[in-house]
Structures are given as structure tokens and as C-alpha cells.
Structure 1
């Protein structure tokens, strides 16, 4: 017999009296069972929008999150074993529910933040549940978590990311492959996870520098599938601008920040590495950031076709000018501090500074050429005005945007220090005539003219 929404609500309201005599685990299990039935009936009734009522949310807070009903009632607590059993029950519950709409509504009822004291319990339980889902491969929970990460304030998103980094990159040696292997089974979760960790680790301090294991994992993910960082963008309806409190729609801004700041950030920590007698991690990180930088540039070069398909070419900036302004401000501060580092020679520091600025110039050039960044040259000159001189950056700030027609092997041989620069802006060296073989645009990119003589430098850090 079909249950009406009103009967459904009454049914959930009557459950509390039957839950009170039960032990904490039994009560939580019983409530999850009834919550599943309640949401299934709500979806079946066609109620729009399908929304869990406040009384049901109160039951969740009382019997699953164990928030006290009132100040005079002490909250019930689970033992560690009971909590583990509850997590296993929740994993099975989401795994066995075949309808994604029901799963998403149930996950939202359990873990959408309400702005009350129960939110701390929500976050604690969510971190343990997602960590377990990674460990045992519960893809429905990871998919629901990806949606949660899209809709939740970034402060809480980075808290969840920190839990996973601690669990899989710090606390348990050898557990990184468990997290790494999910990229093929839940790419949506991986994309949101990358966005969250690039928001968390901004390289402003040693504590906010990504662990080498995390960096290696993300670099390998993007090398294997550059489109991974665009999954959220490709699968989400975009209506206007993103809420200012949410994570970015792609991790591109955070990845650019990582790659550009890395030479200076890791050189800042080199003294610690030297004192401990090991620079292996530092060297590994340099190579990983170099590879990651190349992968990010290749992602930018995938965008014209993708944006054209969505009708957004020239209309949507996936790299925000405000994010770049914050980055250049950080770079200015880091470069000012670089001269004070006595453990690094001035020649080495100059090399690292130029590498940092080269990477910034490359990112700006390729992002603008592929319309991931929509701004004027005047805007760029304004945000870069406090940075030291760099040949390539100067060319990007003053010259035309260059387009490339080869996304697989971007030209990487140009050096701003070459004796014969191919840039037309140099008065002593007129522009070269394009070769005949390059005169016609590549058929895959009919709208992009090809211009020779503007490759960008790419140098691994040392």
C-alpha cells in the first residue's frame, strides 16, 4: 500500500518512542532502516522538492549523532566497537540502495550541515565513514561525498580532505595505494578531493605544504587522465557564478598555485632537509611539481573544444583573476623574503625565482590562449606590477595571446635567454614567416590560428 507524505511524516514521528529503550547501536540501525523507507516513499510520491522534514533531522541528531535532546538530557555515546559497527551498517545501507536519488537524499539528511552543535558530530562521523568507504571500495558513498563537497562551505570541505590525507598519507605507512586506486572507480570524488586539498595546502608554511605521497598520487592521476580535473565542471549544470563560499568548480587555480610557488616554497624548507641529512624528498618534490606543471598546461589546452561543446568558449573563466591576484601577491612576498635566506646562494635563488616567474608566465599565456582566463593585458599588468623582471613574463604581459594547435606535445624548447629570440617584438629580429605546413589550422581546431615562434620554457627544478 502506498504511504502518503503525511502518513510518512507521522510514521517517522512515532519512531522515537520505540527507539528510546534500545541500546545506541540498535537504535541507530533501526533509524537508518526507517529513514531509507521514509525517503523511498517520499521519492515515490513525487513530492517536489524532495526534502527531509525537520522532525526526521532531529531524530538523526539524537539517535545517530547522539546530540542531547535538551540541556538536561545527557547525550548517549557509542564505544569504539559500536561506532565501527555503525559505519559498516551505513556502508552496507548505501551499497544496497540502488536508486541514486534516494542515496543522495539520505546522505544529505545525515551530513548536510545545519549550523548547530550537532555539526561537529556530523563532521567526525563523515570523516570516518568516507575513510572506510575508501578502504573497502564503497563507491556509492564516495559519489555522495563528491556531491557533498560541491555543496558545502569550503572550510568543512578542507577539514574532510585533511582527515583523508592524515589517514592515507601520514598515519598508516603504505596505505597511499588504497586511496590512489579509487581514481578509476569514482573520478567525481577524486576531482573534488583534488580541489579540496589544493585549497587546504596553499604552500604558505611547512604545515600547509602537501606531503610528498599526496603530491605523487595527484600528479600520477592527472598524468594518466588530464580530463579528471574537469569532471565536476563537465557533469554539473552551471548557473551563473559559483557561491563564494564553495570550492572552485575545478582544481585548476589551486594546481597553478602549487606549481608556481613550489620552487620557492620547497627551497624555504631546504634548510630543514639539510639539517636532517636528507634532501631526497625535496628533489622528488621538485620533479613531481615539474611534471604536474606540464600536465596542468595540457589541461588548459584541452579546453577550447570542451568549452565550445558547452557553448561557453569566451564566456566562462575557469581560472579566476582574483585567484591569480592573490597568487602574485604571495609571490611578491616570497621573492622579497628570498634575499634574506642565507643558506641559499644568490645565484641559486635567482635561478629559482626565475623558474617561479617562468611558470607563472606559462600558466598565464596558455590559460589566456585557451580562454580559461578572461581578462585584459592591463589587468594582468596590474596584478603583476610588484613582481621582479622576467623575460617571458614581460612578453606575455605585452604581446598578443598565442594559440597552439597541438595539445599532445606542447612546444617546450623556448628559452628567454636565447641569443636569437623568435619573438616579433624584438626590433633586431623581425618575425619569421610561418612555414607552409603550418599555414592552415589543424582540422581539430578550426577556430584557432597557429602562430610560430612562441614556445614556452619548461625546466624541472633542481
Structure 2
């Protein structure tokens, strides 16, 4: 590797970076065909990538080398062209992982900055190979890093340049897999805990439009993830369903909090708020419909009662957020908004439990929601049909639940009790506006 490095030092920065990409392509492409799969990347190769692509200093105390803006743009074009021209998806994924897999050192900041710019360029030129590689990266990387990439895209296409959202919107038809991971990342970024963490209207409109056009978009990662593969620690959720529920349920409270703080003044802002309320209502209905679609997939794979798509502890955290936000508002002035949020929560809990996405008993549900303000629909959901003591079991109320597997699933799951919701129970619902 020392000979390669000395040869690269005599080249200009762009030529050296291109040569490192060529070296990676040859070495990893050959290793991919070897028995047992590709080996781990050698440290010497990692050092070459960091020095000649990300321009990190070889001395730990030394500052990183800086490229001019023109050189950086040219380097991004070289990367974009490489991924576009490489015909083998497995090789592309390996090279992408070799370039942007975090190593836990100072070069990681350069990696993340370059990755954000490369994905943004991939969106701008609609480069499907980069978007597909980025989708896989988002699926296996830590949520904090994924949120950073999502923030870059939101800034570039939804905040800084008005009207540029249409460029990001076209990605829907090019790479639905990337869109699914992007939605999951932005729901982790924006949790409506503050005005700064509320999704901007262009982003909200785009996400709702995607989901309305094709509900299956939210389930792409879940359906393509082998159940035997454990999820990496700290990664994003398998679906953005929980994050989108947080948006639709907390939206009325967040809007009232904004009015309380006097952040909206005048008719134009009021009209914008009304438009967002309509979008959140559409989002709520779409999420409920996705839960019903999910029921069919769980039934087909014989996973009803054995695989929890929504984790109880995550739902408990959402319930706590809603309760805390409701307490911050004046109940006398925000009663309608609080009731709207609780109505949506009740509907979401009912449909999620009835579809098998949330494994939770009625007793657990009562405990979760015990501190929330009174809501008629929520009380109805928590009560439901009651099996009388010593009475014969009624299959129409509590249908048979399959026994758990002898080998536990990779994803967390537990068997629900006879007093749980089950998808065979019929229910009527309508979206709460």
C-alpha cells in the first residue's frame, strides 16, 4: 500500500481520488466472488480512502486538508458517475459502504458531510444507484446519522430554495425504497416537541402526497427485511408508522401551542395553518389504512400475535408526550384541540391493535392512558367487549391465537392474551378531522 500511496501523492487531488475509487472497485469486486463473501476492508485501504477522498490528515493532531468548492463539486461528479456506470448492484453497495461506513475517527465528520452532498446531488440528477445505496445505508446506520442526512435534504429542497421541493418529490417514482427510509428519518428528526422540530409545510405536503398515492410505500423496508436478520442497535424503525402517528396526533396540540406563543399573526398564517390541518387529517387516515394493509401481510406470513410492528414502550412514550403537551396548554382554551388529539390516538390504538401491529392487552392500554384527560372514544376503546368470569369462551369476541414459535423471532414480540384486540374483530371507524 505504501507504493500506491506514493504514486497517489504525485497526482492532483481529483486524479488521486479517481484512482482510489478504481482501486476499491478492483479489490472489492474480486473479493465479492471469493468463497465466504468479501472480507473486511483492510486498514491500509481505509487510510487511502480517508486521505485521498475525504482529505483527512494522516497526523491525528493535524487539521484536515481543504478542497476548493470547485474541486469538491468535481469530486462529487466523479463519484456520481462511478455509481451510475457500475452495473453490478452488489459492487456498488460494497463501494458505498467502504466509502461511507463510519469508522469512529475524526474522518467521520468529513464522511458525513460528503455523504450529505452526494445524496443531495443524487436527488438533483435523479441518480437511482446513489439513491438505492443511500437507502441501504439509512437502513443499517445509527438513527443520529440518518437524521443528519435527512436534515441536509430538507434544508436543500424544502427550506433554502423556495419551489425546489418538486425536485425531491420526483424521487418517489425513481426510488420508493429511498423515499421510505427518508420518511422514517424525517419523522425521527421532527417530533413536534417545539416549533423548530415541526415539519415545514412543503415537506409535510410532499410526504402526505407520497403516502396518499401509494400506501405500500410505508411498508417497503418492513416487507423486504428478513425476520432472521437482527436490527442494528440504534437504527431507524422498520416503518415510519410510529413517527407519522406522532405527527397526526400531536399536530392539533402543536398548532395550539404555536397560537399560544403568538407565533402566528394575520390572515396568511391562519390560512397556512388551516392547510396543514387538512394535510394532517389526510395523513391520519392514510396511516389507519396502512395498518389495515399490514394486517393482511402479517396474516399471510402467520405472524399475527407474534410480531409487534409498534413497540409498546414506544407507544407509551408517545402517550406521555401527548399528555405533557396537553398539560402545557390551557384546557379551557384548547379543549377542542386536546379532544381531537385524543380522538386520533384512540382510533390509532384501536386499528393498530385490531390489525395485529400493536400487541397490547386492555389492561396495558388502561395503564398507558390512565393519566390522559377524559375522552369518550378512548374510554370506549379501553373498555371494549368483556369476557364474563366463568362464562364459556366466545370465539367471536376473542378468536384463536396461534401458539408462539419454538424459536423466537429476531424482532421483539410477545404472545397476546385472550383479552387483547385481534384482527378478526370487526370495527367501524372514520377519520377524525
The 2-side partners of 1:91 and 1:225 are apart by: 29
Kindly tell me the number of residue pairs found equivalent between the two proteins.
398
Q: CA shift at 1:334, angstroms? A: 1.0
The 1-side partners of 2:61 and 2:360 are apart by: 58
Q: Corresponding residue for 2:147?
A: 158
The 2-side partners of 1:303 and 1:359 are apart by: 19
Q: 1:77-92 maps to which residues of 2 (within 5 A)? A: 77-92=66-81
Q: Corresponding residue for 2:404?
A: none
Q: Corresponding residue for 1:22?
A: 11
The 2-side partners of 1:27 and 1:107 are apart by: 18
Q: Corresponding residue for 1:417?
A: none
Q: CA shift at 1:22, angstroms? A: 1.6
Q: Corresponding residue for 1:224?
A: 213
Deviations 1:156-214 (A, max 9, x none): 11011000000000011111011111112111110000000001100000000000000
Q: Secondary structure at the match of 1:273?
A: coil
Q: CA shift at 1:309, angstroms? A: 2.5
Q: Corresponding residue for 1:391?
A: 376
Q: Which has the higher contact order (CA 8 A, sep 6+)?
A: 2
The 2-side partners of 1:68 and 1:284 are apart by: 50
Q: Corresponding residue for 1:327?
A: 318
Q: CA shift at 1:315, angstroms? A: 1.2
Q: Secondary structure at the match of 2:269?
A: coil
TM-score (ref. length: structure 1): 0.82
The 2-side partners of 1:241 and 1:58 are apart by: 30
Distance 1:73 1:203, change over 3 A: closer
Distance 1:365 1:66, change over 3 A: same
TM-score (ref. length: structure 2): 0.88
Give 1 or 2 for the bigger CA radius of gyration: 1
Could you list the runs of 5+ residues in structure 2 that have no partner in the other structure?
Answer: 387-421
Q: 1:45-444 maps to which residues of 2 (within 5 A)? A: 45-71=34-60, 75-239=64-228, 242-270=231-259, 271-274=262-265, 278-339=269-330, 346=332, 349-400=334-385
Q: Secondary structure at the match of 2:263?
A: helix
Q: Secondary structure at the match of 1:69?
A: coil
Q: Secondary structure at the match of 1:375?
A: coil
The 1-side partners of 2:350 and 2:230 are apart by: 24
The 1-side partners of 2:424 and 2:227 are apart by: 29
Which moved further from structure 2: 306-315 or 369-378?
Answer: 306-315
Do 2:28 and 2:38's aligned partners in 1 also have CA atoms closer than 8 Å? no
Q: CA shift at 1:241, angstroms? A: 5.7
Q: CA shift at 1:457, angstroms? A: 4.5
Distance 1:277 1:45, change over 3 A: closer
Q: Secondary structure at the match of 1:397?
A: helix
Q: CA shift at 1:277, angstroms? A: 5.7
Q: Corresponding residue for 2:429?
A: 456
The 2-side partners of 1:245 and 1:391 are apart by: 37
Q: CA shift at 1:400, angstroms? A: 4.0
The 1-side partners of 2:268 and 2:296 are apart by: 49
Q: Secondary structure at the match of 1:209?
A: coil
Distance 1:448 1:229, change over 3 A: closer
Do 1:358 and 1:457's aligned partners in 2 also have CA atoms closer than 8 Å? no
Deviations 1:227-258 (A, max 9, x none): 10000011111237634411000000101111
Distance 1:153 1:74, change over 3 A: closer
Deviations 1:341-384 (A, max 9, x none): xxxxx3x5111111000000000000000000001111111111
The 2-side partners of 1:395 and 1:72 are apart by: 63
Q: Secondary structure at the match of 1:249?
A: coil
Q: Secondary structure at the match of 2:378?
A: helix
Could you list the runs of 5+ residues in structure 1 that have no partner in the other structure?
Answer: 1-11, 341-345, 402-446
Do 1:316 and 1:372's aligned partners in 2 also have CA atoms closer than 8 Å? yes
Distance 1:128 1:315, change over 3 A: same
Do 2:147 and 2:186's aligned partners in 1 also have CA atoms closer than 8 Å? yes
The 2-side partners of 1:134 and 1:162 are apart by: 14
Distance 1:381 1:45, change over 3 A: same
Q: CA shift at 1:75, angstroms? A: 3.5
